[in-house]
Structure 1
Amino acid sequence: MDPRTRIEAFLADYAAAHAEVKPLFDKWKEEDPFPTWFAKTAALRATHQLERSLKGDIAGFSEPAAFSPEAVTIERIDVYGTSAMARLARSRRAMGDPIIEMMLVRVGGDWRIDTIDDYREEPGSPLVDKDVLEAWKAAADKTSPMEAQHKEDMPDPAAVFSASWACEALSEEFIEEGMEWQEGDGDWDDPEVFAPLLAKAIEQARRNAEVGPVKIQEIGQFPHGSYLAVGDPFGSMCLCALRIEPGVARAQALLTTLGGERSVAALRVILADREPVQWKHAIIMNRRVYSTDVHPWHELDTRSGNGAIADADAYFGMTHRQYSRVWRQMQRAFLMDPGSGPIGASTSAGRHPGAAQAYWGLDEDGRPVQLVLDHQEFWAPADPPEATTGA
Structure 2
Amino acid sequence: MSLISSDVVPSQIAQLPWRVLLLVIAIGLFGLVVLYSAASGHIDPWASSQGKRFVVFLAMAIILSRIPESFWALSALPMYAVTLLMLIVVELLGAVAGGSQRWLDLGFIRLQPSELMKPVIVLAMARFYEMLPAGEIRRFGAVWPGIVLVGLPAALVMLQPDLGTALMITAGGITVMFLAGIPLRLFIGGALGLAVSVPIVVNYVLHDYQRNRVLVFLDPESDPLGTGYHISQSKIAIGSGGWFGKGFLQGTQSHLDYLPEGHTDFALATMMEEWGLMGGIFLIVAFGLLIKWGIGVSVRATSRFARLTAAALSATIFYYVAINMAMVMGLAPVVGVPLPLISFGGTAQMTFMICLGILMSIDRQNRRVTRW
- Structure ranking higher on relative contact order (CA contacts 8 Å, 6+ apart): 2
More strand by share: 1
- Aligning the two structures, in what range does the TM-score lie when normalised by the shorter sequence? under 0.3
Question: If the length of structure 2 is used for normalisation, what is the TM-score?
Answer: 0.18
Larger radius of gyration: 1
- Normalized per residue, the structure richer in helix is 2
Q: TM-score, normalised by structure 1?
A: 0.17
